[in-house]
Amino acid sequence: MIVSPSLLSANFADLKGEMDWFNRSTADWLHLDIMDGVFVPNISFGFPVLKHVAKLCKKPLDVHLMIVQPEKFVQEVKELGAYIMNVHYEACTHLHRVIGQIHEAGMKAGVTLNPATPVSVLQDIIKDVDLVLLMGVNPGFGGQKFIPHTTEKVKELRKLIDETGSKALIEIDGGVNQETGKLLKEAGADVLVAGNYIFKAPNPSDACALLSAL
Ligand code: DX5
Ligand code: ZN
């Protein structure tokens, strides 16, 4: 399983220490949650902080923008050195154009769906995206309880991807732990994001390895 630990649950007073164990762990990507207090009811961190994290991080950056008009920040995300830029379906009036802009900037493009947004809205864009990020909770906060219906959405999305010949990966974000992770893997998930389960564990590196082994 590809694992993308979410920095949102890290100890912000010791980001260097967090990056030390992270770089030596089985983690594949680093998930970065950018919030604006408008699209979601919370504010996390922005580019001035992430610039320093990016320098310390030796693994690909998986950037999740929970902001309105994410197309305004394609250049900033690119300058961060991001591998993938995820934008919310609900935040983009012209999603097809935004996906094109992300690709033109040389990054992989991901589209994210909130829990109340059905997989069917992806029908006409699924072949253009590299990844679909399904929210397992309402975005904005770490440590929330997993919404069980998400596993059904993973199955539906797997079917859509297989039927259309899309190469998109399926990533899940929110409420992931060893138990929900196993269900998500069985449903067809390729990538798991985990914040609290990894960063709040007695041994984050071990928790990460357990998800990697799923
Ligand atoms: C929530 C964020 C998540 C968050 C997940 O809006 O998008 O990435 O960090 O946290 P956990 O894994 O604790 O639910
Ligand atoms: Zn996220």
Q: Read off the pLDDT of residues 50-91 as tens digits, 9 standing for 90 and up.
A: 999 999 999 999 999 999 999 999 999 999 999 999 999 999
Pick the CATH number of 2-212 from 3.40.50.10470, 3.20.20.70, 3.40.50.20, 3.30.1180.10: 3.20.20.70
- Is residue 91 a contact partner of residue 67, using CB atoms and an 8 Å limit? yes
CA atoms within 13 A on the CB side of 56: 17
Report the C-alpha gap between 55 and 58 in whole angstroms: 8
Residue of 4, 9, 87, 171 best suited for mutating to test ligand 1, as the one with most atoms within 8 Å of CB:
9
CA of 162 to the centre of ligand 2 (A): 25
Nearest residue to 57 (alpha-carbon basis) of 25, 35, 103, 85: 25
Residue with tokens 């900037």: 105
- Is residue 41 a contact partner of residue 140, using CB atoms and an 8 Å limit? yes
pTM of the model: 0.98
Weakly modelled stretches of the chain, pLDDT under 70:
none
**Sign of torsion, CA 179 12 53 128?**
positive
What's the confidence (pLDDT) of residue 64? 98
Residue of 184, 193, 198, 199 best suited for mutating to test ligand 1, as the one with most atoms within 8 Å of CB:
193
CA of 191 to the centre of ligand 1 (A): 14
